[in-house]
């Protein structure tokens, strides 16, 4: 039997190693994408940045606003918004919170609810907490049941005190829904794509066992 011919592989091996060195580092890229996804819902690190993000939204919608508005009890809320609606204007408040997202604990959200509810009573208008950076979509933001996510619980219970959330969905998770939405009592109060929802332009005014709602005033 003739001897098996052995071909030189040194140069081939060197070429393969060199090509691997020049190829993109896919592991590093995947890790960077993972960190980007995590950061997109982590929330805003400082309250100042949270205020700036919501101010950008307010300005982009052409809404008038007052910053650091003093309520009748002497407390300062971050924004009071005057938004055009049905030939007039409606008013609502906004309280900014940093690092608010899908993973924010219920006890922390409860503190925000209590503060916002006090502002709502003082101002006689809905008050919304945000920006909440969330991967949840549509009814997931207020879905009920025996086991609630903390954000859904905030929106369900907060709505009975005229308190809701301003939610921003990260760009990589938007499919056919709005970038921004405002949630109140189990539905959308407002969305970037569709505007204000007439079904949610009401204030809770119950004083006993009967559940009562009154329309938000349209100022003209």
Q: Distance (Å, rounded) from C-alpha 158 to C-alpha 27?
A: 43
Q: Distance (Å, rounded) from C-alpha 159 to C-alpha 126?
A: 9
Q: Is residue 154 part of a domain?
A: yes
Residue 7 has pLDDT above 50, yes or no: no
Residue 9 has pLDDT above 50, yes or no: no
Q: Is residue 148 part of a domain?
A: yes
Which of 101-110, 148-157, 196-205 bottoms out in mean pLDDT, i.e. has the lowest?
A: 148-157
Residues in the chain: 220
Q: Is residue 137 part of a domain?
A: yes
The pLDDT tens digits of the residues spanning 30-80 come to: 555 545 544 444 557 889 999 999 999 999 999 999 999 999 999 999 999
pLDDT of residue 176: 45
Rounded alpha-carbon distances, angstroms, from residue 117 to 47, 77, 156: 19, 11, 13
pLDDT of residue 149: 81
The CATH number covering residue 181 comes to: 3.40.1350
Q: Is residue 11 part of a domain?
A: no
Write down the pTM of the prediction: 0.76
Q: Is residue 18 part of a domain?
A: no
pLDDT of residue 12: 55
pLDDT mean over 91-113: 94
pLDDT of residue 102: 85
117: enclosing H helix or E strand: helix 106-123
Q: Distance (Å, rounded) from C-alpha 177 to C-alpha 170?
A: 11
- Structural domain containing residue 51: 43-215
Q: How many folded domains does the chain comprise?
A: 1
pLDDT mean over 79-83: 98
């Amino acid at each position: 039997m003739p001897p098996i011919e052995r071909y030189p592989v040194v140069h081939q091996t060197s070429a393969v190693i060199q090509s691997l060195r020049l190829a993109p580092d896919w592991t590093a890229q995947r890790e960077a994408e993972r960190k980007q996804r995590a950061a997109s819902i982590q929330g805003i690190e400082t309250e100042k940045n949270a205020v700036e993000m919501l101010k950008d939204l307010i300005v982009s919608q052409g809404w008038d606003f007052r910053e650091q508005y003093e309520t009748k009890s002497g407390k300062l809320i971050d924004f009071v918004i005057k938004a055009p609606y049905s030939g007039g204007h409606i008013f609502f408040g906004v309280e900014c919170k940093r690092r608010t997202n899908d993973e924010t604990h219920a006890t922390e959200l409860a503190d925000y609810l209590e503060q916002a509810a006090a502002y709502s009573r003082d101002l006689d208008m809905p008050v919304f907490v945000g920006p909440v950076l969330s991967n949840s979509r549509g009814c997931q933001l207020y879905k009920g049941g025996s086991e609630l996510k903390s954000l859904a619980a905030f929106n369900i219970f907060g709505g009975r005190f005229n308190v809701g959330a301003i939610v921003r969905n990260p760009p990589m998770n938007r499919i056919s829904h709005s970038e921004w939405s405002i949630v109140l009592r189990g539905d959308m109060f407002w969305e970037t794509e569709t505007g204000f929802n007439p079904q949610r332009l009401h204030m809770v005014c119950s004083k006993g066992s009967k559940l009562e709602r009154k329309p938000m005033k349209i100022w003209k």
